[in-house]
Chain A
């Protein structure tokens, strides 16, 4: 079978293959009988039609918190050990980089649009997010944010804490995200946002109520979810650290 005649391949992929073949002066006939390329040629799309990325799920330790700190634009300034362990990156690869380096392609943009709208107002948001590790695996988290301001009341940093997302919540939200992503790919983010708003309207809930409903917990429980006795880092401290950083 001719590699670029594969009916399952999207047009842009076919085009890219043609470009690569032309660049390396490879005739398509010469790769048809190659056992390695044959695997690729015969590949059928995975069952999920929206997921372009196939990786393994990494199960998180529910007692641990993935923590990171970014500037107001989402540039990573600090990430704790569990963040590094889970994401598979080294510190030097992440520090100074935008946070969306760990964004999974299965995530609809509309979720991050809402997330950043909230963060820019200094508001917290609990979102269920699928994150991408360095080697293409993924993990699901539930987020919680805290904003820090300077003396002039301007946002200087965001502290993000993430806990393992409950499996049943992931199951529910995964279906919604697939729909939203499909709308974004075929239409636009604005359309997927309107769809999401319509869904919330039908349920008679706002976003926060919707998330709590999916998690099956109330407002107080979600706060305690992020405070763990064994995990001192999840308790925000407000002492003036900067002045003390270079001295006793």
Chain B
């Protein structure tokens, strides 16, 4: 049983995704319970793997018993286990949030579990083509989820996301074609030895690298390729934007790291400095441009989306620097960002339901109306800026240390500037929340109804999936995210230990 866990992690949510549809024949509710049971089982399976990976280092599984490297291999090491655990926990958090916030349809929970399948598959696979398939499963589920927003503009945003996302995934597939032509294998470990044998300066290898990494940066949403993201996040239902902002880009960034370290290896980055610099420049531009765009937004959710563009620049920079400390920092920030950004989106959803405020100016004085959520929002925002002892500080600190160690001074400057830039857009918002007088002009219905006016116009036209009201569970999720953003700092040594067995072989 225990040796089958890697494949069960993927199979379980697929099967779970089919059940709500069958249940739909008899009842249009019940999807939530099925998703909750499935995700609890998923979390348990991930938990069972922890001692295995802690002692054994790597768990490998040959799907269907086909001999490796011909069959599909699933690999769980410290890095992928950390991401799988993150997927489990965030999904459970989103389920608690969606219990009241909706959408309540069974189809929503099918898509939700399909998305979990795709994300988990991307994380545990050890096969580059298999990664493409899971990338597309993730994509398809995410497009559907974004389109489930009530407004029709959600469909436009989803179609935009679909077209750009498909081009990204197709470029990745084309890159797999080049890699297959070069090495004749699809298994990541096998491919990395064969790529080394072919020689890193071969045109085929370079083309494969460019296409595969380029394709994934579309999914991560680095700067010039991010255009799908703000529309998708701002138009999706609250539960969905919290879920995909926390996980979809995160797992794509993980896949990029997996590709860098397990397929092309650090030797490739050393042998081809142009590739490393291209990624570093892309990441640095993303950090600066993402922040600049975030500052110029008036809609809070769009601002949070642009903030992701900037934060993923940081993560990719950390992975590209590729020293152990920088990779640890990037992993910490990858996980920390997921918790913080998911929490921020959930909080912005609650604030919108309670007060109808969606814009930066509309947030003025809202702290008095929603003290817990506003407090959590402020805490998460400060954690994202990198105020110690929050998790956001640790990740950035290690990435900067790595850059200093590697002597990449221009990158150090950008990384330090990124903290100031993050402060620029979050400080503005926190200041509004606490120190500004409530404005009346952009939410007329609130003036007479006060806190009881849950059905303000802004929330009733498209966000009324849960009737506009806010449940204790939703607030608890946001507060838990805020607490986690601070407490996770204490877990960094554990993560360090978990990665201690994984990273050295990858980074030598």
Answer whether A and B are interacting partners.
no
Instruction: Give the interface of B toward A (CB within 8 A).
Output: none
Q: Which residues of A contact B (CB under 8 A)?
A: none
